[in-house]
Amino acid sequence: MVQHGEINEERYQKMLLAREFFMKCLNAQADYVAVENPLPMARAELPKPTCYACPSWFGVKYTKKTLYWLRNLPPIMAEKVYSCPKEYVHSSRGKYRSRTFPEMAAGIARQWSKFILDDMQARAQKIDRQKEK
């Protein structure tokens, strides 16, 4: 973004477009929203993330902090912590940094699908009780 003390205008414009896309995702008209992103640049001025998770929370031998911005979803909880994880990627760039471990994806899917199904069932019961009145 900054080269030789000067802001690279092309990269800055790309960051602004990426921020706009991020905010559209975050503000999507949906009952449940989860937006995943690595640690953003302060210059992007994104809202504070809701929570973070690491693959090591799901039994993977690596750690890689991933941030989540959530709406109407609970924070991600550790399930099966690997006790001595290694840093997965030392560089913040490249295809390896963007990898999602299957164990982590499955754990998040388990947690949120249960939450959403329970929430939808509670909403349906509330509607049924209102109809009975």
Tens digits of residue pLDDT in 11-32:
889 889 999 999 999 999 999 9
Q: Answer whether residue 19 is part of any domain.
A: no
> Is 24 within the bounds of a domain?
no
Is residue 1 scored above 70 in pLDDT?
Answer: no
Instruction: Render pLDDT for 30-56 as a digit per residue (tens, 0 to 9).
Output: 999 999 987 777 778 889 999 999 999
Residue 15 is predicted with a pLDDT of 87
For residue 84, what are its two tokens?
């001595």
The answer to whether the pTM exceeds 0.85 is no
pLDDT of res. 108? 97
* Amino acid 90: pLDDT: 60
Distance CA 47, CA 7 (A): 22
Q: What is the pLDDT of residues 89-125, one digit of tens each?
A: 665 555 666 778 999 999 999 999 999 999 999 999 9
Q: Kindly provide the b/e burial profile for residues 22-53, where b requires at least 16 CB atoms within 10 angstroms of the residue's own CB.
A: beeebeeeeeeebbbbeebeeeeebeebbeeb
Domain presence at residue 11: no
In angstroms, the CA 77 to CA 72 distance is 15
Residue 23 within any structural domain of the chain = no
Please check whether residue 13 lies inside any domain of the structure. Answer: no
Single-letter amino acid, residue 43: R
User: Which H/E stretch holds residue 33?
Assistant: strand 33-37
Q: How many domains does the chain have?
A: 1
69 — pLDDT class (breaks 50, 70, 90): very high
Domain around 94: 30-132
> In this predicted structure, what is the pLDDT of residue 67?
92
Assess if residue 80 is contained within a domain.
Answer: yes
In a domain, 48, yes or no: yes
Q: Is 2 among the domain residues?
A: no
